[in-house]
Structures are given as structure tokens and as C-alpha cells.
């Protein structure tokens, strides 16, 4: 049987229930940090330091340290925000939607994918705050009771976006944490030092492993999954409405919500792929995160990518079909204007490169998958940048057309955000089990029970 076929086993070999638990918990409790991890940590720390410096300088001087200008008042910060929050989608979709769809192969992926979601959403939620002219007043978006009896302005999509991010962040943290509890209890029980016992013991919330615990856990997981799935769609639709609500050519479009959801799935799966490949290699998990997982992820990336490509086509088609002067000018400008290169990078990465995934051989090749995943991530960043900047730099009145030139601090903030994400993820793989032990045990048990 081919290793990537849908009926291929999702676990290779026979680790046995006990062996599996020991192996996965030892990754956290026993394994010394490897060289690769240390090097990655140093790089991530440096980049995160750069982010801290960028933020400090930003708070001291103002958003003018970035390249934003009139008329391009949004650029990197918003592109970064949309990019990161979209990456977050992958985790939620894998763990929640596939849980509801009863796809047991997802079990090997969901833990780190959920961690990825939490970190990506956390990183992304920095940007809407930092991009404000007066970031220290971000809480004015919240409808809190105040002396001046001021409410936020309910018609603005930015306000709903604020709620959407907040809800999504809370839901994904909860979902992540609830899923961790049985494993935290396992770690608590297997820890040999007092410190670790206390640490994991506190986090495990007194999990005893009784049937009652398991039943409640199962119910809560399902409920949260049921909550998370619509949230995923709502948050990305809300992000899309940040643009659709404007009357600007290239933004004022009803296709945006589904388009953004597809784009989020696309980049989310790409990120899951990009993280899976080094992870299984470094931690020796190739028998748990198998070729079949990679194959499935490749298919998902391809499917989402095709939808994204379709969205591009529809956007350009409707611009010309609608006959609106400004939409046509914008479409032409995207294809041939000053920033056309960003459009063509997006096309090359998001439409052309993924066509390789039609081939089984490519999907079976981790290096190729890794490269394609990275390409898609780059492409999706450029797509967001293109979407924002090409619309803004040339809108209605030719007299106010301008351009955009990023500064050092734009790049530093982007690189720093990647650093922060990497830092969080590197800490995660050392502190928490990267694969859900209890769910993997289920898989093994399932297999043992079946034959």
C-alpha cells in the first residue's frame, strides 16, 4: 500500500500505548535541548528583541517611523495583521472542523497546529493596536462604561473586528488549553522533579483521569469545536469587511469575506506544513506525523489555493464586467502599475507554484512541500500588501495619488513578529507535548481494537 494513500495508516509501526506516552512526554521532561533548537532560539530571541526595539521606538516617536504616508496610511502593519491572523486559521480548522468531521488522522497535527493558532493570533493582535496613532487608547474601541458616557461607533467594521479578534483569541486559547489538560496531567504524573510536578500540577487543574473527567472533557471539546468553527469564519469575514466597508475601488467588494476565509485556510495549511516538516524531523516523529499527513496537507493547500486563484480571477473579471471606471483603472493598475510586481509575486506563489501539488510525487517529498509552503506564506503576505497598497496609492482623484516606500522599521517589525512567533513556538515545543498524547493513544487503541 502506498504510504500516502487515504487508507495508509496514520501511525507507522506499533509504538504501543505506554511507549507512545513515554516517548512524547520524554520530549518535554527528559530530552535535552538540541543544537538546532538552541540556534533557532538565539535567532528567534534576536528577532524578538528587534520587535521590542521597534515597538519602543514606535511608542516614543509615533507611527511616522514607518513608511506610511498620505494616501497610503495603511501598509505593513495591516498586511502583517491580516497575514498572521490568517495563519492562525489553519490550526483551528484542523483541530475543530476536522474533529467535528471525525477525521482521526488530524490527531497527530492538532496540538501544534492549535499552538500555532494561538501564537499567530496573539502576534497578529499586536498590529491593530500598534498601528494606531495613539496605541495607548486602543481600549476606547471597547464598549466599557465611562465617565463621558461614550460608546464606540457601531457602524465601523474596525469595531467588530476588534470584537472578532478578541473572541477568536479567547476561544482559541480556551480550546488549546482544554485540549492540553489530560496531557498536562500525564506530565504531572510523570515528572520527577518537584518543580515540574507543581508546574504541570497547577496547569492540570486536578485532572484525575476518571471516566467522569473524560466525559466532560469530550463534551467540552466538542462544544468548543462547535464554537470555534463559526468563529473562524466570522473572524476572517470581519477582517474582510475592514476592507469591504470602504468605498475604495479594489476593496468595496462582496466577494471579500469568502475570499479571505479561503486565503486564511490557504496560508494556515501552508504554515502547518512548514512547521510539521522540521518538527517531525527534529523530534523523530516521522512515524507519527506520517507521509499521509503531509499528503493530506498538500491536498488541502492545493484546494484552498485553487479557491484563492478563483477569487483573483473573479475580482479582475468583475472589475471589467462591472464597467466602473475606478475598478477598471485599479485592476489595470494591479496588473501593470508601479506595484504590479507584488501582484505577480502573489500570482506566482499562490496560483502557479501550488500547481505542483497535483503530483503525488511532490506531495510525497517533504522538501518540496516545505518549499511550497514557504512560497505560499510569502505569496500570501504579498497578496495582502498588494491588496492594501495598490488600492490606497491610487484612488479617485489623480491629484492625491502617491506612493509607498517602506522604512527600516517596517521591515524590522515584520521580521520581529516572525521572531516573536518563533520564540513562542520554540518555547512551546520544549514545555508542552507537541503531539496530543491522549488522542494519539486513542488512535493506537483504535487500531489495536480493530483487527
Partner 1 sequence: MPSLSADQAEIMAALRTRVGNARGPRYWRALDELIDEPAFRRHLHDALPQVSQLAPALDRRAFLKLLGASLALAGLGACSGPPPERILPWIQQPEGVPDSLPQFYATTLCAGGNVAGVLVETHQGRPTKIEGNPAHPASLGGTDPLLQAAVLELWDPDRSQSPVHQGVASTWDAFATEAAALQRRFEPDGRGLHVLSGTIRSPTLARQRREFLARFPGAAWHQYEAVDEDNALAGAMLAFGRPLQMRLRLDQAAVIVSLGADFLYEMPGHLRHARDYADRRKRVLEGFTGRDPSSAPTPGRLYAIEATPSLTSANADHSWPLAESALPAFARELAAALGIADAAGGPASGMPERRVQAIAADLRANRGQSLLLAGPSLPAEVHALVHRLNAALGNVGRTLDYFEPAEPREASAASLQALTAAMSGGMVEALVILDGNPAYATPGELGFPELLAKVPLSVHLGLHRDETGVACHWHLPATHALESWSDLRAFDGSASLVQPVISPLYDGRSMHQLLDLLTGSGGAPPIDLVRVTWDGVLDEAGWQQSLRQGVIGGSAPHAVGATASAAPSVELSHETQGSDIELLFRPDPHIRDGHYANNGWLQELPKPLSHLTWSNAALVSPRLAAELALGNGDVIRIAANGRELEAPVWIMPGQAERSITLPMGYGRLVAGHVGEKLGFDANALRHAASPWRIEGARLTKTDRHVALASTQQHHRMEGRDPVHRMTLAAFLANPPAKTPERRSLYPPRLQKSGAEGYAWGMSIDLDACIGCNACTAACQAENNIPVVGAEEVRRGREMHWIRVDRYYEGRPEAPATWHQPVPCMHCEHAPCEVVCPVGATVHDSEGLNLQVYNRCVGTRFCSNNCPYKVRRFNFLQYADLDTPQLEAQRNPDVSVRNRGVMEKCTYCIQRIRVARIGADREGRRIEDGEIATACEAACPTRAITFGNVADPDSAVSREKASPRSYALLEELNTRPRTTYLAALRNPNPALEDES
Q: Is 156 in the site for partner 1 (CB under 8 A)?
A: yes
What's the min distance (Å) between Cβ of 241 and partner 1?
10
State whether the Cα torsion 346-98-220-430 is positive or negative.
negative
Distance in Å from the first CA to the final CA of the chain: 17
Of 83, 84, 105, 162, the one binding partner 1 by CB under 8 A: 162
Query: Are the C-beta atoms of 329 and 394 separated by less than 8 Å?
Result: yes
CA distance 321 to 200: 60
Give the separation between CA 131 and CA 127, rounded to whole angstroms.
6
Does position 308 interact with partner 1 (CB under 8 A)? The reply is no
Cis before residue 71, ω within 30 degrees of 0? Answer: yes
Three cell numbers, residue 235 = 473572524
Contact flag: residue 74 with partner 1 (CB under 8 A): yes
71 lines the binding site for partner 1 (CB under 8 A): yes
Task: Tell whether residue 260 is a contact of partner 1 (CB under 8 A).
Answer: no
Q: Which stretch binds partner 1 (CB under 8 A): 21-29, 57-65, 268-276, 279-287?
A: 57-65
Per CB under 8 A, the list member of 325, 335, 341, 358 interacting with partner 1 is: 325
Report the residue number, 166 or 378, with the smaller CB distance to partner 1. Answer: 166
Query: Does 364 interact with partner 1 (rule: CB under 8 A)?
Result: no
Task: Identify the sign of the CA torsion 414, 89, 91, 357.
Answer: negative
- Residues near partner 1 (CB under 8 A), total: 50
Is residue 337 a contact point for partner 1 (CB under 8 A)? Answer: no
Residue 134 within binding range of partner 1, rule CB under 8 A:
yes
What are the CA-CA distances from residue 206 to residues 140, 203, 432, 437 (Å)?
Answer: 38, 8, 17, 18
CB of 401 to partner 1, least distance (A): 4
Q: Which is nearer to partner 1, 10 or 75 (CB)?
A: 75
Please list, residue by residue across 353-367, b when 16 or more beta carbons sit within 10 angstroms of its beta carbon and e when fewer do: bbebbeeeebbbbbe
Region 390-409 residues binding partner 1, contact defined as CB under 8 A: 392, 394-403, 405
Integer Cα distance of 70 and 48 in angstroms: 30
Gap between the Cα atoms of 356 and 444, Å rounded? 33
Rounded (5°) CA angle 422-425-428: 150
Among 50, 68, 184, 288, binds partner 1 (CB under 8 A): 68
152: contact with partner 1 by CB under 8 A: yes
Q: How far is the CB of 132 from partner 1 (least distance, A)?
A: 5
Minimal distance in Å, beta carbon 136 to partner 1? 9
Binding letters toward partner 1, positions 173-212, x by CB under 8 A: ----------------------------------------
Q: For helices 366-393 and 76-92, what crossing angle results, to 10°?
A: 140
Q: Is 146 helix (H, G, I), strand (E, B) or coil?
A: coil
Binding flag, residue 4, partner 1 (CB under 8 A): no
Cβ proximity to partner 1: between 132 and 174 the closer is 132
Q: Is 433 in a helix, a strand, or coil?
A: coil
Cell of 206: 486536578
Is the separation of the CB atoms in 441 and 21 below 8 Å?
yes
Identify residues 427-446 at the interface with partner 1 (CB under 8 A): none
Judged by CB under 8 A, the chain residues 218 through 257 that form the site for partner 1 are 242, 245-248
- Min separation Cβ 144 and partner 1, Å: 12
Q: Where are the beta strands (DSSP E) in 34-193?
A: none
Considering the complex, state which of residue 70 and residue 361 has its C-beta at the smaller distance from partner 1.
Answer: 70
Q: How far apart are CB 170 and partner 1 at their closest, in Å?
A: 19
Q: Does residue 146 interact with partner 1 by CB under 8 A?
A: no
Cα 116 from Cα 226, distance rounded (Å): 19
What span, in angstroms and rounded, lies between the C-alpha atoms of 64 and 252? Answer: 27
Residues lying near partner 1 in the complex (CB under 8 A): 61-65, 67-74, 131-134, 137-138, 140-141, 150-153, 155-159, 162, 242, 245-248, 325, 329, 392, 394-403, 405
Amino acid at each position: 500500500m502506498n504510504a500516502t494513500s487515504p487508507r495508509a495508516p496514520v501511525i507507522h509501526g506499533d509504538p504501543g500505548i505506554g511507549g507512545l506516552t513515554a516517548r512524547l512526554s520524554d520530549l518535554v521532561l527528559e530530552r535535552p535541548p538540541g543544537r538546532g533548537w538552541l540556534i533557532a532560539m538565539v535567532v528567534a530571541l534576536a528577532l524578538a528583541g528587534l520587535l521590542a526595539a521597534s515597538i519602543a521606538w514606535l511608542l516614543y516617536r509615533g507611527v511616522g517611523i514607518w513608511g506610511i504616508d498620505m494616501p497610503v496610511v495603511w501598509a505593513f502593519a495591516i498586511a502583517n495583521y491580516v497575514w498572521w491572523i490568517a495563519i492562525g486559521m489553519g490550526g483551528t480548522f484542523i483541530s475543530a472542523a476536522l474533529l467535528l468531521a471525525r477525521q482521526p488522522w488530524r490527531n497527530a497535527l492538532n496540538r501544534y497546529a492549535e499552538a500555532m493558532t494561538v501564537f499567530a493570533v496573539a502576534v497578529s493582535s499586536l498590529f491593530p493596536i500598534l498601528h494606531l496613532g495613539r496605541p495607548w487608547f486602543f481600549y476606547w474601541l471597547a464598549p466599557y462604561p465611562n465617565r463621558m458616557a461614550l460608546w464606540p461607533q457601531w457602524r465601523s467594521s474596525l469595531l467588530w473586528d476588534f470584537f472578532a479578534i478578541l473572541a477568536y483569541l479567547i476561544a482559541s486559547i480556551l480550546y488549546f488549553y482544554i485540549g492540553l489538560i489530560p496531557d498536562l496531567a500525564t506530565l504531572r504524573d510523570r515528572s520527577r522533579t518537584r518543580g515540574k510536578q507543581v508546574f504541570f500540577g497547577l496547569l492540570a487543574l486536578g485532572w484525575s483521569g476518571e471516566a467522569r473527567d473524560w466525559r466532560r472533557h469530550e463534551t467540552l471539546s466538542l462544544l468548543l469545536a462547535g464554537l470555534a468553527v463559526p468563529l473562524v469564519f466570522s473572524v476572517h469575514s470581519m477582517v474582510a469587511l475592514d476592507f469591504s466597508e470602504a468605498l475604495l475601488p479594489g476593496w468595496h467588494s462582496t466577494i471579500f469575506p469568502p475570499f479571505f476565509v479561503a486565503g486564511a485556510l490557504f496560508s494556515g495549511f501552508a504554515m502547518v506544513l512548514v512547521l510539521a516538516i522540521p518538527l517531525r524531523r527534529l523530534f523523530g516523529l516521522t512515524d507519527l506525523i506520517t507521509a499521509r499527513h503531509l499528503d493530506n496537507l498538500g491536498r488541502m493547500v492545493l484546494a484552498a489555493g485553487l479557491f484563492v486563484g478563483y477569487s483573483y480571477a473573479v475580482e479582475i473579471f468583475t472589475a471589467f464586467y462591472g464597467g466602473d471606471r475606478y475598478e477598471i483603472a485599479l485592476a489595470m493598475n494591479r496588473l501593470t502599475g508601479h506595484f504590479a510586481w507584488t501582484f505577480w509575486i502573489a500570482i506566482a506563489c499562490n496560483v502557479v507554484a501550488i500547481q505542483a501539488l497535483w503530483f503525488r510525487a511532490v506531495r510525497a517529498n517533504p522538501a518540496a512541500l516545505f518549499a511550497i509552503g514557504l512560497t505560499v506564506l510569502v505569496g500570501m503576505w504579498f497578496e495582502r500588501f498588494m491588496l492594501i497598497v495598490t488600492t490606497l496609492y491610487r484612488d479617485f482623484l489623480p491629484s492625491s495619488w502617491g506612493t509607498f516606500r517602506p522604512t527600516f522599521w517596517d521591515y524590522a517589525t515584520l521580521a520581529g513578529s516572525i521572531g516573536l512567533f518563533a520564540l513562542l513556538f520554540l518555547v512551546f515545543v520544549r514545555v508542552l507535548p507537541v503531539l496530543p498524547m491522549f488522542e494519539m493513544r486513542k488512535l493506537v487503541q483504535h487500531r489495536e481494537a480493530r483487527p
